[in-house]
């Protein structure tokens, strides 16, 4: 069934016109970019029963409570997905998870559009956080 999901997700990505940078069907990974939206190396993982979408945002330079608070507050405004820390706590990522069984084109598009909107509206703050030391 995972093969069918992989093909479905790949076809959606192509239909939406995103550039595929890397594709690994064995690992269930597709990496896409959309330069116009500021999206670079967005990792899409097909891990039945979930579709996991992750975009690296920045490396954490210092543990700033005010930065974490601002990111958590911004999570409230994000339509799809959220800011998260990776397992090491050193990278801020955008992450969304979707159910593969019911996935449709609009849902995947909404997730990527949410990231694009976030990057366009919040870019100055993200750049500032990435330089905090």
**Sheet (strand 19-24) strand order:** 19-24, 29-34, 39-47, 50-59, 91-99, 82-85
How high is the pLDDT of residue 2? 65
How high is the pLDDT of residue 133? 56
Q: Which residues of the chain fall below pLDDT 70? A: 1-2, 133
pLDDT digits (tens, 9 = 90+) for 29-59: 999 999 999 999 999 999 999 999 999 999 9
Dihedral sign from CA coordinates of 59, 63, 64, 65: positive
Domains with residue ranges and CATH for the chain: 2-131 (3.30.1460.10)
d(CA 110, CA 75): 16
């Amino acid at each position: 069934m995972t093969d069918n999901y992989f093909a479905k997700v790949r076809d959606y990505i192509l239909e939406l016109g995103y550039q595929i940078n890397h594709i690994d069907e064995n690992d269930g990974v597709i990496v896409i970019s959309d330069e116009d939206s500021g999206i670079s190396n967005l990792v899409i993982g097909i891990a039945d029963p979930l579709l996991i979408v992750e975009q690296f945002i920045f490396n954490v330079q210092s543990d700033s409570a005010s930065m974490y608070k601002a990111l958590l507050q911004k999570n409230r405004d994000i339509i799809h997905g959220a800011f998260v820390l990776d397992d090491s706590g050193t990278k801020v990522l955008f992450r969304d998870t979707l159910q593969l069984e019911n996935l449709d084109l609009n849902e995947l598009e909404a997730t990527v559009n949410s990231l694009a909107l976030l990057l366009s509206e919040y870019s100055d703050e993200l750049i500032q956080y990435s330089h905090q030391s």
